[in-house]
Amino acid sequence: MKKDEGNYQVVANNRKASFNYFLLELIEAGIALLGSEVKSLRLGKGNIAESYAVDISGELFLQNSYIPEYNQSSYNNHDPRRLRKLLLSKKQINKIIGKINQEGLTVVPVRMYFNHKGIAKVQIAIAKGKKQHDKRHTKKTRDWEREKSRVFRKN
């Protein structure tokens, strides 16, 4: 875990999200976790790289996120890939579900962290998938920026 800007501790980043999707809107959401999941996240373990949010009967759930089992937990340890409920207001949930159903967008987690009060949060993004040529363009501009900075550093 690393401190970022002094107000929250980042547990997991989804670096592939900005490469695979156009991130249209970022939203902070709470996440319903069990005690052993929180302890495992406090150790800096967890992965949200392949996860996404799904709508199940008017509620949003984070699917395919991985939080490993906590070693010191007893017989009531959690399932590492279980569905985890995202805690949002009803207005936010309806807005997100409307965009998913009408515009064909998806919801991907960008970062999982503990805020300054020690509460686990997930930053989710309403996103539109990139086509292959968009990904090539992103990589091309990133490589060009890197090469440009090398040239300026040498001179």
DSSP letters for 33-71: --HHHHHHHHTT--B-TT-EEEEETTEEEEES-B-PPPT
Residue 6 confidence (pLDDT): 58
Domain positions in the chain: 2-130
Contact in structure between 69 and 78 (CB atoms under 8 Å): yes
Q: How far is CA 67 from CA 3, 14, 112, 118, in A?
A: 20, 14, 11, 17
Each residue's pLDDT tens digit, 111-155: 999 988 888 899 999 988 888 888 888 889 989 999 889 888 887
The Cβ of residue 124 has, within 10 Å, a number of other Cβ atoms equal to 30
Q: What percent of the chain has pLDDT over 90?
A: 21
- Cα end-to-end span (Å), the chain: 37
Residue 4 confidence (pLDDT): 52
User: What mean pLDDT comes out for the span 17-43?
Assistant: 87
Give the integer Cα–Cα distance in Å for 100 and 106: 6
**Which residue matches tokens 């902070």?**
28
Contact in structure between 31 and 126 (CB atoms under 8 Å): no
Highest mean pLDDT among 5-14, 67-76, 112-121: 112-121
The Cβ of residue 40 has, within 10 Å, a number of other Cβ atoms equal to 24
Judge whether residue 110 has pLDDT over 90: yes
Q: Which CATH architecture has domain 2-130?
A: Beta Barrel (2.40)
